[in-house]
Structure 1
Amino acid sequence: MAGWNQCWKDAAINYRRGENEIEQKSINLDHIEIAYSTIEGARHSPHYSPTLAFMANYAYRKGIEDGLLTVYLELFTKFPRFLKDIQLREKGVPVPGLRRV
């Protein structure tokens, strides 16, 4: 039994470490939610927002680098504009005003 208890403890510790690593590698989801809800909820919501475009670009790059685009699933359903912005990045549509170095 002692061996199984240690295995269980190790599994729980590694699970928590994995969750922490995912959180550290991905962009802060609260920041995305605040930006999209604030700008989309504005009285005169702009058709194009540089702030949202840059945020989506950064989120896309981080998601691709770390293989964690699935982290954004909840935001995709909550903010269709965010999903559209990510899809534009995926298609290679450049962010206006952003120059590649």
Structure 2
Amino acid sequence: MSKIDKAIQVKQIMLEADPTNEKLRTEVERLRRMKKKILSGETPFSINMVFSVISQGSTENEAIERLSHKISILREELRSMGIYTEDLRGLGAIAALNRFFRGEQ
């Protein structure tokens, strides 16, 4: 709960400095709703999702550049909905995929 309170305070200060920032205003309201739900007894939950992003290019560098661009767009769209993401790479990706497809937490 203290993390939510701190996030609200920080974002509220930022919003006071830039009152026209609608994205920030939406984020503050989302955090306040989350806090209210927790205080009313609702249990927070977590949902894990795996997205696969595919890209093509005439060279490896071009394909990587296009892939990075697509990932950035997806990440921003998810963030605008209040969904936070992290990249999975190497052995961490394999472990996460195994957990995901086995239905483990």
TM-score by length of 2: 0.27
Q: Could you state the TM-score of these two structures normalised by the residue count of structure 1?
A: 0.27
Q: Which has the higher contact order (CA 8 A, sep 6+)?
A: 1
Higher helix proportion (structure 1 or 2): 1
